[in-house]
Amino acid sequence: MAMTAMILLLLRGVAAILAIIVVRFLYHGYAHRRAVRSLKAQGLPILPHSILFGHLPIFAKFKKAHPPDINVYVFHTWLAENCKTYFPDHDYLPSVVYLDIWPLTGSLAMVTDPVAVSQFTIAKNEPKVDVVAKFFHPMTLGLDTLTTEGQIWKTWRPRFNPGFSQRNLTALMPEIIEEVSIFADRLKQVAGKGDESGPVFPLMDMTTDLTFDVIGRATLDIRLHSQTDQSDSDSLKKTFFDQIRLMEIFENIAQGVIIGRWPWQQAAVARNNRTMHNFLLPQIQKRLHSDSWIGQKATVLDLAIKHVDTDAPDGSQKEPTLEFVDRLIANLKTSLFAGHDTTAATICFMMKLLQDYPECLEKIRAEHDAVLGINPDPAHAAQVLTTSPHLLHSLPYSLGVIKETLRLYPLAATVRQPPPGYYLTGADSVKYPMDRFGLWASAPAIQRHPRYWPRPNEFLPERWMVSEGDPLYPATPNSWIPFSLGPRNCIGMELAHMELKLVLVLTARTLEIQEAWSEWDVLKGAKSTPSHTVDGQRLYQIGTGLVHPKDGMPVHVRLRK
């Protein structure tokens, strides 16, 4: 009897808790839907909105028209292309497009014009939305520049800026060339004999190894050997990727994921942290005592370490505090995180565009012949640049190729949190209330916007070389935003540009890199997905966060005669 009563009581308790969860869920949903309704009542442009489902039906339509692994950034371009369907009175998307796709995400607004984007990145530097910091917490406990805000960010960001400047990175050019030469050599080794193409492989694997090694050189001047050591050892790279995998499992009530990491996964997070810590700490200690690296070059880390004096409690002491060292380590991991797949994916999309626009590839080759000498051997170009590093900054066409790649394939964009009562005023002169809407700079929409970019969907490196007054001249400030804008922009832009240029210089004249989907399908067998295409292309943008190329971009390589 007592037993039954207890079970009943327990069941009632569980039912009550479930009811509370459901009611809270419904209440949140109602609040989201109501907020958008009230904006509509104020006469603001709103996508067709269902009181039950918000904008989910539009998002569902986008998903249905695309392969299941499509990246959400393609939604921005898709919406811009279908503007007339959803905003019949508009020629272009409104400056702010409110999105109500709760419970997939909280409230977000796509900001699609450069005037409005500059208001929260340049004029005011608003904080990032807190999901970014929550996601990144296991990696650095919030000790890094990517996710901290306020005074800590203001103190630490300038400490890293000098090391990432073009001038100071140029001093490290020989070291970086060494890593990119290995990349060029690996590509050559997988090329076919004579006229033949070699076997198919995902280019992204090789570019990721490269970017890892380059960051090791630029930040610490150490060799991480990601490119050369393919064994399954407990390398920094392997530990790092395992950590990212574990970070991706996280509590997210908006998405209905409540459990988060299991205890054994938490233990793995701690173990990975220890492994990375034990690897990076001695590297820092070695360079803390400046006499031990005399004669070597100043890296990003060395230039940041100088501030140990200003941070020391009595001003004279050279021993850093634990916190100082922890922040250095956190920022090294952050460089690896923010710099590896961004640059690696950009190399892939750049190769894709050069394949599709062979006349541009010819122009690049001509530029390299003219500036670096007609000997196309990568070893020769490497030698010329090692003695005259500044020549890398005299390749305007190559830089145009890079900027145009990042215009057509932006990989990420900043999302900022507005303070209460915040407004944006668009180029359309409409005043948009932004309370509680994440401010999502829409790089994909802005960078293909027909008002700012003539022939917006064409790959035209020339537009970066013409002078003011030419119809192709990119005349609108802040309409190119792949590295975000303002003081909180990407610290690694110069490093990325340098690495991308070196990749072009050391591969364009000797290799032909081509997508190889039929070989890939044979290799993948039943696991291949030939029906997945976007605009007729097998290579499309995938990933749940940063944009990655589909299947890592399967290619094969041929030697150029």
State the residues that interact with ligand NAG by CB under 6 A.
140-141, 162, 165, 167-168, 273-274, 277, 298, 303, 326
C-beta of 338: minimal distance to ligand HEM in Å? 3
Residue 288 or 513 having the CB closest to ligand NAG? 288
Residue 76 or 488 having the CB closest to ligand HEM? 488
Closest CA to 309 of 293, 298, 320: 320
C-beta of 141: minimal distance to ligand HEM in Å? 16
* 277: partner contacted, choices ligand HEM, ligand NAG, none (Cβ within 5-8 A by kind): ligand NAG
C-beta of 364: minimal distance to ligand HEM in Å? 18
Spatial CB neighbours of 152, under 8 Å, sequence gap ≥ 6: none
Q: Is 411 in the site for ligand HEM (CB under 6 A)?
A: yes
Q: Is 71 in the site for ligand HEM (CB under 6 A)?
A: no
Amino acid at 114: P
Q: Where are the alpha helices (DSSP H) in 493-552?
A: 493-507, 517-524
Secondary structure of 283-350 in the HEC alphabet? HHHHHHCHHHHCCCCCCHHHHHHCCHHHHCCCCCCCCCCHHHHHHHHHHHHHHHHHHHHHHHHHHHHH
Q: How far apart are CA 534 and CA 77, in angstroms?
A: 12
Q: How far apart are CA 207 and CA 347, in angstroms?
A: 7
Q: How far apart are CA 80 and CA 231, in angstroms?
A: 46
Q: Is 139 in the site for ligand HEM (CB under 6 A)?
A: no
Encoded tokens for 362: 């010819």
Q: Is 492 in the site for ligand HEM (CB under 6 A)?
A: yes
C-beta of 269: minimal distance to ligand NAG in Å? 7
The alpha carbon of residue 276 and the mean position of all alpha carbons in its chain are separated, in whole angstroms, by 22
Query: How close are the terminal C-alpha atoms of the chain, in Å?
Result: 90
> If you search the block for the tokens 């904008």, which residue do you land on?
55
Binding map of ligand HEM across residues 101-130, x = CB under 6 A, - = no contact: ---------------------------x--
Segment interacting with ligand HEM, rule: CB under 6 A, options 282-290, 339-347, 354-362, 502-510:
339-347
Binding map of ligand HEM across residues 345-384, x = CB under 6 A, - = no contact: -x--------------------------------------
C-beta of 518: minimal distance to ligand NAG in Å? 45
Q: Is 412 in the site for ligand HEM (CB under 6 A)?
A: yes
Encoded tokens for 444: 């994909």
E strands present in 388-535 = 415-416, 423-425, 431-433, 438-441, 511-515
Closest CA to 210 of 372, 302, 343: 343
The strand pairing partners of 110, in sequence order, are 97, 440
* 298: partner contacted, choices ligand NAG, ligand HEM, none (Cβ within 5-8 A by kind): ligand NAG
Q: Is 146 in the site for ligand HEM (CB under 6 A)?
A: yes
C-beta of 329: minimal distance to ligand NAG in Å? 8
Residue 303 or 430 having the CB closest to ligand NAG? 303
* 167: partner contacted, choices ligand NAG, ligand HEM, none (Cβ within 5-8 A by kind): ligand NAG
Per CB under 6 A, residues contacting ligand HEM are: 128, 132, 145-146, 157, 215, 334-335, 338-339, 342-343, 346, 411-414, 482-484, 488, 490-492, 495-496
